[in-house]
Structure 1
Amino acid sequence: MCRIYGYFNASASPNEMKTVGALQRHGGPDRTGMSRAPGWGLGSNRLAIIDLDGGSQPYEIEGRISAVFNGEIYNHDALRARLRQRGHTFADRCDGAIIPALYEEYGERFTDLLDGMYSIALLDLRERPKLLLVTDDMGMKPLYYRWDPVDRSLRYSSEIPALLAFEGLGKTLWNPGLDAYLASKTPFGEQTMFEEIKVLPAATTLRCALGEVPEAIRRTPAAAPVLGDADKAAELVRDSLRTEVGRLLVADVPVAVITSGGLDSSLVTALAAEHGPVHSFNIAYRGTWPFEERHFARQAAEHAGAVYHQVELDPATLPDLIEDVVWHLGQPNADPITVSTYALFAAVREAGFKVALTGDAADEVFGGYARMRAAHEAAPYGTEWYGRYLDALAVVPADRRHSLYTDDYRLLVEGVPAIPAEALGRLHGGEGTVLERVTDFELTYRLPAYHLRRVDHLSMAHSVESRLPFCQRSVTSLGRALPDRLRIDGDQVKRTLYGAAAGLVPEAVHKRVKQPFTLPVTAMLTPGSPLWQMARDTLATSRLRAAGRLDPNAVDALFEAQRLRPDDTTALTLWALMTYEVWQDQFQGAARPVGVKVPA
């Protein structure tokens, strides 16, 4: 696991590259590697997980092929054996060391053989130089880039703050970004909140030959045969998860699991414990709050025989954490759970663990969200499901969102789709049933943008590698092969996954009603609380009027509504707007949080 960065058909000084690397060293504190030559540079920060003494990047073949790599390749031993039979030798047993040889043997389709999570920058200097940027099937390891069409240069990095450290890279905000953010809690698709910065989609290879415009090649996930029998489907999913959890526990450093108390993480905890003693971490909030789940998490850990670690977050510290969270994310994410995630992984690292397995992505793969069920149930009655589904994704429903804007900003975003038109087209009029289209939308657009980048950035902020069994190819292909009735059946969501978990998790967890794992922001955002004071200061009338996007009177009305009649939508809207303003302060002012050091 690493952080990567570099440039192609451009120039950067050694100090510039050191600065970029320093700004993401939290994600790779164990070793720094760099190669430069006229026109290109490759850099890496390493978090040592496999072969702790090896892993010197960039990986190279005689100056002809060089690569830097972020992630884990779980089938690297099998691939290394195959490559050795073809005459290749390796200096260590690190998983990324196989990448140049694999590319030399199989060309750009080398990604078909990789089983894992990754983002890769590979430089091929044979004949006409070209750079390949590659992401895994699900987008577990983000990669951001900036293409300059004038000088045909490309710069890239694993994190936005580091990418912004390249000289000449503008910090211009994407004007429709606020509307996109409030419509989906973080921008979907390739566009980030910065005008010039894109994020490489999942399952994509970006080919950039010297002097040419980059070309994006999308890979299509392999599909398993359609599964029709409920018992057989549950058995296949259970067996696949058991295998994947076993593979994801392999490391040369201590591995923990995250147990929220829901079905998904409890199942991962149970399967991990089958391989020996495991440590389980849960986060809760000091005091008495709604949606308390710690008792379910403890039951799941004790049922599995795991060593249970209870992490407690003091709500009074939220203002101190928000700025760090926003900085590490690089762009706003409206889910209050970001703060909890950040604090949880800090505790995991402090306890001595560099790897943690999580239950993320099960809802998207197997149909676990209430909005998916609502769309599925409404589908036979027309298209009413469509608007309701989009509103369920948003911070605030569409009819209320535009009332928050000034007249000028409302005019600016008029006619600009808040969610990419391609995504909306596939969702509304694509192939398959409504539930199949919703699942495709969740997996292709929402999961990478809203969920996986959050998990990656906030775990790596503390030098912890998060591993996701539900994102592994064998599991997602089974999930995609399920017919509607094996995803959602009446009141039951995730029907197949519940079948797979039967007997492995406590009955109380197996039978409980699903609830979101989140920060209880509605209860915490009350007059007199530190969070309320931060929100009031951040959303002051004077600063909103100067920015010209939000109507100060509309925002004041939100505070008054939250004071008199607290509700989830109002509280989330205030949280989201506060987060957006913190982000603007940090990045338009080029601020850096205390403790981030760059070379002199």
Structure 2
Amino acid sequence: MCRMFGLFGSNKRNKIIECIESLKAGGPDEQNVRFLRTGLLGHTRLSINGLLNGSQPYTLDGRHCIFVGEIYNHKELSATYGITRHPGDADGSVILPLFERLGPRFVEELDGMFAIAIVDTRQNDKLTLYTDSVAVKPVYYKHSPGCLSFASEIEALPDFEKDDRTIQASGFDTYGTFRACLGAQTIFPNVKVLEPATYLTFDGERASIDHYVPSPERSLPERYDVAALEADVSQAVAWMTNAEVPGCSTLSGGIDSSLIAVLANRHPGMLNAFNVWYEGAWQEDETAYAKMVAEHAQLRYHQVTVENDRFPSLIERMCRALSQPNAAAHCLSTFRLYEAISSGGFRVALVGEGADDFFGGYDRMVHVATAFEQEEALSAYIRDLAAIPSTLRARLIDPEAVDMQYAMRLKEFIRGLPGSSWFRKIVQFEAKHRLPYYILHRVDALSMAHSVEARVPFCLPSVYRHAAVCEDRQLVNQQARKRPIYECARGVLPSAVLARRKQPFLLPIAGMLRPGFPIFDYLMDTVRSSCRTFDFVNKDVLLGCIEENMHRPTTALGNSIWAWLIFEVWANEHDITFR
């Protein structure tokens, strides 16, 4: 999987060792820096395949390349374009030969999850940065006249200075509205992130961004065919189980991760499956379904527990690992899950993210698809995206830091997206404008913090393209959602798992934010400290929310309190100041 960074047009090289150290968890096996005439390329390696021949940067005829992630169709591309390979070559060895043959849009032929940097020394160190079609692997960058830096994590940008850590107080409102910072602009004013299916070219002065369309998206099937989808999902899983290091699956008990885990177990070395849940008895507990799937498929089941007394230390380490704040309550369990996977000696984990987003798996999407009053359904959809309800944000946050027009602007943005119905526009928004930033970048950060590569079969273009040819009713109706995924799982998973009501994987945070739980004590200690956010967050309103949740806990209150706590801890861990 690896990590990377680079700097061009600047002589600031004093932070190179610091950059390497900050990326070492995601690349513990080998660290290299290549100095070029106008800049440098840095790479830290997590060895998965090509253990002997996978060192980077790659070099070919004056071009240098570093990349992170995986290119799963590299063997097919080598055969198609006559690329000579040697035994033990890693998948990245095809990149420069493809660039030589096809030019900068060679990326359209790749089926994988990746971020790539190519420097052409024959064109005055011209730099090109790529990200995959859903930006599974983030590329953060900072551009100023004559200078561009990039990195897999914001803290590793070679010219990320103290002044860059000053952010707008309104960033908290944006975060509370969407649970994360969506889009190219990060929470840091001077830092952006490449959007899905884009590449950036820097010629030493200017940076330009172009979009591309992956080949699988340009060769769509004529119509939806469940057998073709099954074949492509199976192929994706087969590609992703190919590793020269131990691999496993994550298993929540839901249909997506269960399907991936069972299909993965058909391949050598993929017997192990990990589930995570919280100490105590909670009604949201789905471990029974995960155990049922494991027994059905004869998987070796590993139960991971998030112990109550570890919450405070886990929260701080988790926030340290996140380049941007993320209000997903299950961030904590995700972090703990990958910690256990790493401790078990595994470096690859197959996961189920992406199926809901591309195939219509969320309740809010179904409500839009089946509603009689579409405008009201869209308004309800936008409200459902928030970590903190708009009515509470209006009381909790300083009025000058609140954007009450966000809903209108988001509705207009969604209206302008491709799609013949509001539902298809919503699918486009979820898959290409929310999934990368809220889910995939979070999974990337929390898994790589423990030197684990999380692989996402449903996010390959060869898989999600099938959703594009489905009619709306083939994806969802009043009785069912993401119907193609259920059709793939029929006969593979136990009937009880197929028949169960969909439930999001949540932290039962409202119940925990009460006296008697260590997380509550940690919350109150944080509130009593010199909080960085209290210049624009009303402490009395926050305390009122905490008091109300103690007596009448609700999901909305629990999520709101949690969202503030994570933002405050994240700001403290990253030494953030506000203006």
TM-score (norm 2): 0.94
| Bigger shift: residues 478-487 or 445-454 | 478-487
Q: CA deviation at 1:274?
A: 2.0
Match for 1:143 among 132, 139, 143? 139
| Bigger shift: residues 138-147 or 284-293 | 284-293
Aligned equivalents of 2:73, 2:411: Cα separation in 1: 36
1:455 aligns to 2:453 (yes or no): no
Secondary structure class of the residue paired with 1:438: helix
1:91-137 deviations in Å (ceiling 9; x for gaps): 95111122122112211111012111100111112234311110000
Structure 1 gap segments, 5+ residues each: 591-600
CA contact (8 A) 1:183 1:418 kept: no
How do 1:268-417 and structure 2 match up within 5 A? Answer: 268-276=260-268, 278-378=271-371, 380-410=372-402, 413=403, 417=406
Runs of 4+ in structure 1 deviating by more than 6 angstroms, as ranges, are none
CA contact (8 A) 1:6 1:41 kept: yes
Match for 1:186 among 161, 170, 180? 180
Task: Give the match for residue 593 of structure 1.
Answer: none
Task: Give the match for residue 543 of structure 2.
Answer: 556
Q: CA deviation at 1:166?
A: 4.2
Task: Give the match for residue 29 of structure 2.
Answer: 30
1:481 aligns to 2:481 (yes or no): no
Q: CA deviation at 1:547?
A: 4.0
CA RMSD of the aligned region, Å? 2.1
Aligned equivalents of 2:8, 2:92: Cα separation in 1: 21
Aligned equivalents of 1:580, 1:343: Cα separation in 2: 19
1:246 aligns to 2:219 (yes or no): no
1:427 aligns to 2:414 (yes or no): yes
Q: CA deviation at 1:322?
A: 0.5
Q: CA deviation at 1:82?
A: 4.7
* Change beyond 3 A, Cα 1:28–1:262: same
Task: Give the match for residue 98 of structure 1.
Answer: 94
CA contact (8 A) 1:223 1:481 kept: no
Q: CA deviation at 1:171?
A: 1.4
* Change beyond 3 A, Cα 1:128–1:224: same
Q: CA deviation at 1:167?
A: 5.1
1:208 maps to a residue whose letter is F
Q: CA deviation at 1:480?
A: 2.0
Q: CA deviation at 1:325?
A: 0.7
* Change beyond 3 A, Cα 1:2–1:202: same
How do 1:40-79 and structure 2 match up within 5 A? Answer: 40-62=39-61, 64-79=62-77
| Bigger shift: residues 396-405 or 467-476 | 396-405
Aligned equivalents of 2:221, 2:51: Cα separation in 1: 42
1:494 aligns to 2:488 (yes or no): no
Aligned equivalents of 1:80, 1:484: Cα separation in 2: 37
2:299 maps to a residue whose letter is A
1:44-66 deviations in Å (ceiling 9; x for gaps): 0000011112211111114x111
Aligned equivalents of 2:162, 2:11: Cα separation in 1: 11
Q: CA deviation at 1:401?
A: 1.7
Aligned equivalents of 2:243, 2:219: Cα separation in 1: 29
CA contact (8 A) 2:36 2:125 kept: no
How do 1:150-161 and structure 2 match up within 5 A? Answer: 152-161=146-155
Q: CA deviation at 1:482?
A: 1.2
Structure 2 gap segments, 5+ residues each: none
| Bigger shift: residues 399-408 or 64-73 | 399-408
Secondary structure class of the residue paired with 2:103: helix
Task: Give the match for residue 595 of structure 1.
Answer: none
CA contact (8 A) 1:131 1:209 kept: yes
CA contact (8 A) 1:283 1:340 kept: yes
CA contact (8 A) 2:51 2:88 kept: no
1:196 aligns to 2:194 (yes or no): no
Task: Give the match for residue 464 of structure 1.
Answer: 452
Q: CA deviation at 1:164?
A: 6.7
Aligned equivalents of 1:224, 1:501: Cα separation in 2: 25
State the aligned residue count: 573
Aligned equivalents of 2:241, 2:277: Cα separation in 1: 25
| Bigger shift: residues 435-444 or 388-397 | 388-397
2:433 maps to a residue whose letter is Y
1:198 maps to a residue whose letter is K
TM-score (norm 1): 0.91
2:7 maps to a residue whose letter is Y
Task: Give the match for residue 235 of structure 1.
Answer: 227
* Change beyond 3 A, Cα 1:259–1:507: same
How do 1:532-551 and structure 2 match up within 5 A? Answer: 532-540=520-528, 543=531, 547-551=534-538
Aligned equivalents of 2:8, 2:295: Cα separation in 1: 52
Aligned equivalents of 2:302, 2:44: Cα separation in 1: 29
Aligned equivalents of 1:587, 1:44: Cα separation in 2: 23
Q: CA deviation at 1:540?
A: 3.5
Q: CA deviation at 1:19?
A: 1.1
2:41 maps to a residue whose letter is L
1:478-529 deviations in Å (ceiling 9; x for gaps): 0122111011111211112111110100111111000011211112111232
Identity %: 35
